[in-house]
Amino acid sequence: MNKSVLILGAKSDIAKELGKIFAKDGYDLYLAARNVNELDEYITDLKIKNNIQIQKIEFDITKIETHTEIWENIKEKIFGVILAAGYLPNQKEAEKNWNITLNTINVNYTGAVSFLNLVANSFEERKSGFIIGISSVAGDRGRKDNYIYGSTKAALTAYLSGLRARLFNSNVHVMTVKPGPVYTKMTEGLVLNPNITAIPEKVAKDIYGAYLNKKDVIYTPAFWYIIMFITKHIPEFIFKKMTIR
């Protein structure tokens, strides 16, 4: 029997690439997303290319009242969970519209914590499994042009750090992924620097390689570690005057 991986936010571009890699390596997939039937063509292609089973789950990470039932129905079959759900708002719109800010918080943090708490309890009890959480370099320091999004990713990063420490002695691997900008549906319409912007395939390969090597935290592409190391050490009296994109 193949090991099974649950991907939350399975319609994201990075999630799709991760699904391809895990499927190629023989993992069965549970794909959870809103309007999950939109993945039918993608699923058919994966099944043709790989001898695996794939299950679809209609899932809205903000509907916390549904999380327990969903997890209880599948938890015995799941070896690992990948959190790929995320929401990137327009900063200026979020500043003026509380509903946009609240949705950002609920997707990127509240909903994520709700579901991963359930996963953590199950994995801790059976003393096996892995959790991969996709955060962002935006969470390393608040910047004027995306601090609402960045603050939710900072919270997620802190949560995953604590979860990693909690589950270490239970043989559960928790990995935090911090991508820089990536060409995805989520970043369409943004002006991105091509010199520091990755493609989903590259990010997914980095994540899978780090998972195999049981890394705790990765920046992807790797040069973002250096960029953020420098960024985090710029004095505040200078940083607040800067525009860093």
Interval 97-138: pLDDT, tens? 999 999 999 999 999 999 999 999 999 999 999 999 999 999
Beta-bridge partners for 5: 29, 80
**CB under 8 Å to 229, separation ≥6 — which residues?**
none
Domain that holds residue 34: 4-239
Query: Residue 44 falls within a domain, yes or no?
Result: yes
Query: Residue 245 falls within a domain, yes or no?
Result: no
Higher pLDDT, 241 or 92: 92
Give me the sign of the Cα torsion angle 80, 84, 100, 157.
positive
Query: Residue 200 falls within a domain, yes or no?
Result: yes
Question: What pLDDT was estimated at residue 243?
Answer: 66
Higher pLDDT, 182 or 52: 52
Query: Residue 216 falls within a domain, yes or no?
Result: yes
pTM (2 decimals)?
0.94
| Residue 1 pLDDT greater than 70, yes or no | no
Q: How far is CA 88 from CA 48, 122, 135, 143, 222, in A?
A: 33, 30, 12, 14, 22
Of the listed ranges 3-7, 182-186, 205-209, 225-229, the one predicted with least confidence: 182-186
The average confidence (pLDDT) of the chain is 94
Query: Residue 244 falls within a domain, yes or no?
Result: no
| Residue 237 pLDDT greater than 80, yes or no | yes
Question: What pLDDT was estimated at residue 197?
Answer: 82
**Any idea what the Cα angle at residue 17 is, between residues 13 and 21, rounded to 5°?**
165
Nearest to 221 by CA among 236, 240, 201, 238: 201
Query: Residue 26 falls within a domain, yes or no?
Result: yes
* Cβ contact 180:220 at 8 Å: yes
Query: Residue 110 falls within a domain, yes or no?
Result: yes
| Terminal C-alpha separation, the chain | 46
Cα 37 to chain centroid, rounded: 21
pLDDT range class, residue 188, cuts 50, 70, 90: low
Q: How many domains does the chain have?
A: 1
| Residue 189 pLDDT greater than 70, yes or no | no
Q: Residue for token digits 């991907």? A: 7
Angle between helices 13-24 and 200-212 (to 10 degrees): 50
Main-chain dihedrals φ then ψ at residue 30, nearest 5 degrees: -115, 115
% residues pLDDT > 90 (the chain)? 89
Query: Residue 168 falls within a domain, yes or no?
Result: yes
Q: What is the CATH number of the domain that holds 74?
A: 3.40.50.720
